[in-house]
């Protein structure tokens, strides 16, 4: 593996994050703090506990997942789209670096930035509500798997998009609604039976459920099912990236 090439792409993308610190880090933290104020105070005053956990603490895993998924998709999609937009992607393709190493550089940087934001939000949440992480190792596993998976998904969107409108349409119209409807702010058991079955079709629900289990040992589905679902999604994203580079879809043209 050309570690120098991977490191060059990785460091360039990380440097871009530090140059846009407010947009990359500060903005998600402020948005999440507003969620705590609105949901934790306004709704939390009406809902004392959910499955034995205070409502303010209950929504923490969902808020982290919301930021983690949206940031992963946004960072990775813009990271690969911008070289396409400026034409510098041909310099990357002509460099002595494989497609695999290109993906590792871009996806690794996007995942790292998302994980940093997730950990900052976790620390910020501790200032608002009491937190108890029952399984910290599993929490980090879900954190890393989710950030890598959605960074790959964002990478695919960045390759597919041929304008800035398409770059934003999937995160806004697909990812964010799926997170909100995936049990981020409520337990699936609180829904009517029909909507509980419909929610099971939402892949994000499994990620939120597994991540919440690592905090409070409460989940809408088994933790192993959550782990299986994110592994399937990760596998699908890897296959799509392989297909893109093997065919040159919107990369060489």
- Cα–Cα dist 247/232, whole Å: 23
Spatial neighbors of 231 by CB under 8 A, at least 6 apart, are 145
User: Is residue 185, in this structure, part of any structural domain at all?
Assistant: yes
pLDDT digits (tens, 9 = 90+) for 173-201: 888 888 888 888 888 888 888 888 888 88
User: Is residue 252, in this structure, part of any structural domain at all?
Assistant: no
Name the percent of the chain in helix, strand, coil, to the closest 5.
75, 0, 20
Confidence (pLDDT) at 4: 83
Mean pLDDT of the chain: 85
| Total domains in the fold of the chain | 1
User: Is residue 253, in this structure, part of any structural domain at all?
Assistant: no
User: Is residue 16, in this structure, part of any structural domain at all?
Assistant: yes
Domain with 151 in it:
3-247
By C-alpha distance, which of 112, 117, 158, 118 is closest to 13?
112
Mean per-residue pLDDT, 229-248: 88
User: Is residue 177, in this structure, part of any structural domain at all?
Assistant: yes
CA dihedral (69, 70, 73, 74) positive or negative: negative
The predicted model scores a pTM of 0.89
Instruction: Label residue 45 by pLDDT band (50, 70, 90).
Output: low
């Amino acid at each position: 593996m050309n570690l120098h090439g991977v490191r060059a792409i990785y460091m360039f993308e990380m440097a871009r994050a530090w140059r846009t610190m407010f947009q990359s880090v500060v903005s998600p933290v402020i948005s999440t703090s507003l969620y705590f104020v609105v949901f934790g105070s306004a709704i939390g005053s009406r809902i004392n506990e959910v499955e034995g956990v205070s409502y303010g603490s209950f929504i923490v895993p969902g808020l982290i997942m919301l930021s983690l998924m949206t940031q992963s998709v946004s960072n990775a999609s813009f990271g690969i789209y911008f070289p396409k937009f400026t034409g510098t992607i041909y310099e990357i393709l002509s460099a002595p670096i494989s497609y695999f190493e290109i993906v590792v550089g871009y996806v690794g940087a996007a995942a790292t930035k998302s994980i940093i934001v997730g950990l900052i939000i976790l620390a910020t949440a501790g200032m608002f509500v009491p937190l108890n992480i029952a399984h910290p190792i599993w929490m980090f596993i879900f954190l890393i798997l989710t950030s890598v998976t959605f960074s790959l998904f964002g990478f695919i969107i960045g390759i597919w998009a041929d304008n800035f409108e398409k770059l934003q349409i999937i995160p806004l119209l697909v990812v964010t609604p799926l997170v909100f409807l995936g049990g981020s702010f409520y337990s699936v058991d609180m829904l009517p039976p029909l909507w509980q079955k419909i929610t099971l079709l939402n892949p994000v629900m499994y990620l939120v459920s597994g991540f919440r289990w690592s905090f409070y040992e409460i989940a809408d589905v088994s933790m192993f099912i959550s782990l299986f679902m994110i592994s399937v999604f990760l596998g699908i994203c890897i296959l799509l990236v392989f297909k893109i580079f093997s065919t040159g879809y919107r990369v060489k043209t």
